[in-house]
């Protein structure tokens, strides 16, 4: 899908040739003398339309308007959330219609934030998955033009970033949505290599022998029960000088999670194909970076494997040795994400990073705590936490800071190893973060628990592509900070 930004008045928008013209109208709208203003004014006076959020009106073949179909949409005060909701509603109607081209025009002032909200809503509302369908349904909408009365440089930059963000989000959705037999660790590694080859950054994919040489005993223990060989994917994007310390993103890549010997219930186990949502988000961010080419350095690390209950699978009570040398008592094999991440966090030390952020569908406890609205965020540095919160707000990909008090680590004490991989039920998202914290002491570190936000269940089942938006917004803010 192609996006374009144009400077258009309502009068110019009326003359534009497009399949569907969507007009976003705030409560402060002042009617002019153009055909669209007259339509809005008449509909409002007749009480057929209101600029309140969620209100809409469709019209056809209006004199003086080039589009065959017109949709008036209320955006209330015109805040980003109002715009996103309004455009999402309009897209729901277009998804089933034969609309190839649409023009979305702001009937009043627009901002960088509202532009981004509109772009994100268009993409989200028209996304279709088709990889494993016998007759895939293509996205009918191919051209989207956004019209604003005027656009400063900040708006143009934000628009470009938003379009790149959409490409990353949809790349992440594609791989998270694929069934586990179409997204094995090997296939995930090939996807990363293909992306790197087309975009000009480096990618290295390590197999079992290389991972064994690194001493990643914790990671290897999770993969033991699967016939699919593990892969450790290392991506390097260099947009700044080599001396500039990178941000390292670590994505949990469990391509399917049965729970291992601590096997999960059968109901909804199919959704465990989404357990590589963290890995998918790292790939998505790299997709966006290659479009924008910011002057920053970013490393992506993806430990990828399946968690299966084979005769060779790791057992509850087994003790394994991590790459850091710390021993781990595995009390629950379904707490496997932290076991693959801890070795990747140790590996990250070699890059002398300015910050490391791991992203993982880690705990059901985080879903209970925050639901599907905000990702759980843990951070060792206040400035890192504040930057991530700000980025999430700007990208409309929200997170919330959770505690990292040392007292929570007491639940992870073991009589037989340096640390247990689980504590009790109480504070489960926090004790999981405290486990990871043991392996991330040599750099500023943040952990994003996306178990509640990486996918939707039920009738709307599918990956969300989160938190690609948050991560990309954060990385772009680091580029700006580096210029100061």
Beta-carbon contacts of 288 under 8 Å, excluding residues fewer than 6 positions away, are 164, 165, 167, 168, 468, 472
Pairing relationship of beta strands 69-74 and 20-25 according to DSSP bridges = parallel
Q: Which of 79, 95, 101, 264 is catalytic?
A: 264
Asked if residues 311 and 339 have their Cβ atoms less than 8 Å apart, the reply is no
User: Tokens representing 76?
Assistant: 């209330």
SS3 at position 2: strand
d(CA 379, CA 478) in angstroms, rounded, equals 17
Tokens 């293509």 — which residue? Answer: 138
CB 388 within 8 A of CB 410: no
Q: Which of 151, 68, 168 is nearest to 468 (CA)?
A: 168
- Is 156 assigned a catalytic role? no
Distance (Å, whole) CA 149 – CA 157: 16
Catalytic residue list contains 461: no
In contact, 284 and 387? CB cutoff 8 Å: no
- For residue 286, is it left (φ>0), alpha (ψ between -120 and 50) or beta? alpha
Of the residues 173, 338, 374, 466, only one is catalytic, namely: 338
Strands 445-449 and 375-379: antiparallel
Task: Report the largest interatomic distance among the alpha carbons of the chain, rounded to a whole angstrom.
Answer: 81
What does the DSSP 8-state code read for residue 296?
Answer: -
Whole-angstrom distance, CA of residue 294 vs CA of residue 110: 25
Give me the residues paired with residue 401 across strands.
Answer: 377
Active site residues: 264, 338
């Amino acid at each position: 899908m192609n996006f374009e930004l144009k400077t258009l008045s309502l009068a110019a928008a009326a003359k534009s040739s497009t399949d569907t013209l969507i007009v976003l109208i705030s409560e402060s709208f002042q009617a002019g003398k153009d055909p669209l203003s007259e339509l809005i004014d008449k509909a409002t006076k007749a009480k057929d339309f209101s600029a309140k959020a969620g209100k809409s009106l469709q019209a056809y073949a209006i004199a003086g308007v080039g589009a065959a179909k017109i949709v008036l949409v209320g955006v209330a005060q015109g805040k980003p959330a109002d715009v996103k909701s309004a455009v999402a509603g309009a897209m729901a109607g277009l998804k089933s219609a034969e609309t190839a081209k649409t023009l979305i025009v702001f009937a009043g002032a627009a901002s960088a934030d509202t532009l981004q909200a509109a772009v994100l809503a268009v993409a989200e509302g028209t996304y279709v998955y088709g990889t494993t369908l016998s007759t895939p349904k293509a996205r009918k909408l191919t051209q989207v033009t956004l019209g604003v009365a005027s656009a400063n440089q900040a708006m143009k930059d934000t628009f470009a970033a938003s379009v790149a963000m959409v490409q990353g989000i949809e790349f992440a959705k594609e791989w998270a949505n694929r069934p586990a037999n179409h997204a094995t660790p090997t296939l995930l590694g090939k996807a990363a290599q293909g992306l790197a080859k087309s975009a000009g950054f480096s990618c290295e994919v390590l197999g079992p022998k290389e991972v064994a040489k690194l001493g990643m005993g914790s990671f290897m223990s999770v993969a033991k029960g699967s016939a699919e060989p593990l892969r450790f994917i290392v991506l390097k994007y260099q947009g700044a000088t080599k001396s500039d310390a990178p941000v390292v993103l670590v994505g949990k890549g469990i391509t399917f999670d049965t729970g291992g010997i601590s096997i999960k219930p059968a109901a909804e186990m199919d959704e465990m194909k989404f357990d590589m949502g963290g890995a998918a988000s790292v790939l998505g961010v790299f997709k966006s970076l290659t479009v924008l080419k910011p002057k920053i350095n970013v490393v992506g690390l993806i430990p990828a494997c399946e968690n299966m209950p084979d005769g060779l699978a790791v057992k509850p009570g087994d003790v394994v040795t991590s790459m850091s040398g710390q021993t781990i008592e595995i009390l629950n094999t379904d707490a496997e994400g932290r076991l693959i991440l801890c070795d990747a966090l140790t590996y990250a030390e070699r890059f002398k990073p300015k910050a490391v952020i791991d992203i993982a569908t880690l705990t059901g406890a985080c879903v209970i705590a925050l639901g599907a609205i905000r990702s759980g965020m843990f951070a060792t540095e206040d400035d890192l936490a504040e930057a991530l919160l700000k980025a999430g707000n700007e990208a409309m990909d929200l997170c919330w800071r959770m505690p990292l008090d040392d007292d929570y680590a007491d639940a992870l004490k073991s009589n037989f190893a340096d640390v247990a991989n689980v504590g009790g039920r109480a504070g489960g998202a926090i004790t999981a973060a405290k486990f990871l914290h043991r392996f991330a002491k040599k750099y500023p570190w943040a952990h994003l628990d996306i178990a509640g936000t990486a996918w939707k269940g039920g009738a709307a089942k599918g990956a969300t592509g989160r938190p690609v938006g948050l991560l990309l917004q954060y990385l772009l803010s680091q580029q700006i900070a580096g210029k100061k």
